[in-house]
């Protein structure tokens, strides 16, 4: 059942992974990285959701019952399950997954082509586990895509971010998607009707009292309903600045504009309540025409009455509406856009080209390269920022020592640059208390498990700093270029 989807994380994988333990030559140590390969309008993305995805997944222990369930399911599915591998996890690792996951911080702008996540095993012989949860980790493309789309809209609007409002809750495929999109939206915008997001984080989100078709249908006389909404707005809102949203197309929007609009604006002025007239039906051309008709009238009044457009709104349509409104000689800042599924329906994994590929296997760096142009990045890597050209630099760790846990005087920053550990199963012969001093910890028989504390406000701060400074791209240092050339040369010869 749906409520049990995280109950047995052993089964959260693709079927073909069941066979790989026996198909590989060696699984002592493996490393994979995740990269965003596609170029959208921004030539990059806002990373968001990976921290929580990792935490939600690896906060779970497995037990022998989980392994047996997976083994029986695999048998019915036509596969022999790698039971011995996962039984070792239960017996030797107390059910915790012996991996280390390092990423660039959520909230950063990640230029296209940047390896932003690196996964490795921390106990010898568990290399196959590095890619076992590939599908789960890649699911974070959706919150990252939503954060990226919100960022693109925010860049366009600039300081006028209150011109957009999220109406997205009902259009989602699941509550999980609604959570990701709603919290991604809140990284950049305060205006939202996604009330459910307020239970998760402290934020400054806001909305206004609003009529719906069902409310207008409840009244025998629609005009009386509109006047009541304006009169009652001050009783509903807890904010000093009063406004009310009035949907005008429950019956006949043209009739509303010609018969009711002016009297309602006058009432709004008298009650010190701005009236936002919502257009929710028709083609974009029809809505654009009606918006201009409304603006011709409302600009004559004292308060800043305006228009809400909420039918089939996307980022591209916002730009088109603004262009046409401005050409008509009206202030586009009187238009508020209510964005529903047009905010997220186009976001899929290929939109930013997320891919996870093996970078180190069978005691050597490795990579994918093919005539189609898709190439991965080999080796154990770190990422740092080059202030000279304002780019990320991907560099190789020469002759890395496994596991990739560095004890002693070296810090994570010295070794991996901007990469931060989200999760680490740390064997007991490594002392990491100084490196992970502020991390949450769990203790197993032979290890300490470290989790990076989740801080939404910190992520939001990173995201909004991107508005002031966006990293220009990514480059690879000489060691990475040398490794790529070496691997290709060895294949050809």
Q: Report residue 303 as tokens.
A: 């308060």
Q: Reply yes or no on whether the pLDDT at 406 is more than 90.
A: no
Whether residue 349 contacts residue 140, with contact meaning beta carbons closer than 8 Å, is answered with no
Handedness of CA 265, 268, 270, 272 (dihedral sign): negative
Q: What is the pLDDT of residues 416-469, one digit of tens each?
A: 889 999 999 999 887 665 668 789 999 998 899 999 999 999 999 999 999 888
* Distance (Å, whole) CA 204 – CA 296: 33
Whether pLDDT at 373 is above 80: no
Q: How far apart are CA 285 and CA 306, in angstroms?
A: 18
3-state secondary structure at position 248: coil
Domain with CATH 3.20.20.70 in the chain: 144-343
Instruction: Please name the residue ranges forming H helices in 187-280.
Output: 213-218, 222-236, 253-259, 261-270
Task: Name the pLDDT band for 203 (thresholds 50, 70, 90).
Answer: low
- Tokens of residue 235, six digits: 């009783």
pLDDT at 452: 93
Report how far residue 473's alpha carbon sits from residue 488's, in angstroms, rounded to the nearest whole number. 25
Distances (CA, A) of 472 to 36, 41, 113, 335: 15, 14, 12, 32
Average pLDDT of 88-104? 97
Q: What is the mean predicted confidence (pLDDT) over 171-186?
A: 95
Q: Which CATH number fits domain 144-343: 3.40.50.2000, 3.20.20.70, 3.90.550.10, 1.10.443.10?
A: 3.20.20.70
Find the mean pLDDT for residues 372-394: 91
Task: Report the percentage of the chain scoring pLDDT > 70.
Answer: 97
- Tokens representing 181? 């999109």
- What is the spatial distance between Cα 44 and Cα 46, in angstroms, rounded to a whole number? 7
Helices and strands counted in the chain (H then E): 17, 18
pLDDT (mean) for 363-385: 90
The rounded mean pLDDT for the chain is 92
Q: Are 64 and 382 in contact (CB under 8 A)?
A: no
């Amino acid at each position: 059942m749906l409520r049990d989807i995280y109950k047995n994380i052993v089964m959260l994988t693709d079927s073909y992974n069941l066979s790989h333990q026996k198909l590989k030559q060696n699984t002592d140590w493996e490393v994979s990285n995740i990269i965003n390969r596609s170029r959208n309008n921004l030539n990059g993305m806002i990373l968001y959701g990976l921290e929580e995805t990792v935490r939600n997944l690896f906060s779970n222990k497995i037990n022998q019952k989980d392994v047996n369930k997976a083994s029986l399911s695999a048998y019915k599915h036509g596969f022999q399950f790698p039971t011995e591998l996962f039984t070792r996890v239960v017996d030797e690792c107390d059910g915790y997954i012996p991996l280390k996951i390092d990423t660039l911080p959520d909230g950063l702008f990640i230029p296209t082509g940047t390896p932003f996540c690196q996964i490795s095993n921390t106990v010898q012989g568990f290399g196959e586990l590095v890619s076992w949860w590939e599908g789960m980790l890649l699911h974070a493309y959706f919150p990252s895509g939503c954060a990226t789309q919100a960022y693109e809209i925010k860049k366009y609007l600039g300081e006028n971010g209150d011109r957009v409002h999220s109406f997205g809750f009902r259009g989602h495929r699941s509550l999980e998607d609604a959570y990701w999109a709603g919290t991604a939206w809140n990284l950049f915008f305060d205006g939202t009707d996604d009330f459910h997001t307020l239970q998760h984080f402290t934020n400054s989100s806001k909305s206004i009292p609003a009529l719906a078709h069902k409310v207008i249908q409840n009244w025998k006389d629609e005009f009386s309903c509109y006047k009541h909404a304006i009169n009652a707005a001050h009783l509903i809102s807890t904010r000093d600045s009063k406004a009310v949203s009035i949907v005008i197309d429950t019956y006949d929007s043209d009739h509303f504009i010609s018969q009711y609009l002016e009297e309602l604006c006058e009432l709004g002025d008298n009650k010190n309540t701005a009236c936002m007239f919502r257009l929710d039906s028709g083609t974009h051309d029809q809505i654009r025409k009606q918006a201009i008709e409304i603006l011709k009238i409302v600009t004559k009044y004292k308060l800043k009455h305006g228009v809400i457009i909420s039918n089939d709104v996307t980022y591209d349509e916002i730009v088109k509406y603004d262009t046409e409104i401005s050409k008509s000689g009206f202030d586009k800042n009187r238009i508020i856009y209510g964005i529903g599924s047009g905010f997220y329906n186009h976001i899929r994994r290929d939109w930013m080209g997320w891919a996870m590929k093996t970078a180190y296997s069978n005691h050597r760096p490795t990579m994918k390269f093919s005539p189609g142009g898709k190439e991965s990045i080999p080796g154990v890597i770190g990422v740092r920022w080059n202030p000279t050209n304002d780019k990320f630099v991907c560099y190789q760790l020469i002759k890395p020592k496994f596991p990739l846990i560095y004890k002693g005087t070296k810090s994570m920053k010295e070794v991996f640059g901007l990469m931060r550990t989200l999760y680490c199963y740390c064997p007991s012969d490594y002392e990491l208390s100084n490196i992970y001093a502020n991390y949450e910890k769990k203790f197993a028989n032979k290890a300490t498990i470290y989790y990076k504390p989740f801080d939404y406000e910190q992520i939001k701060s990173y995201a909004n700093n991107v508005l002031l400074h966006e990293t220009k791209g990514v480059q690879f240092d000489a060691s990475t270029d040398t490794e790529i050339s070496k691997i290709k040369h060895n294949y050809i010869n």
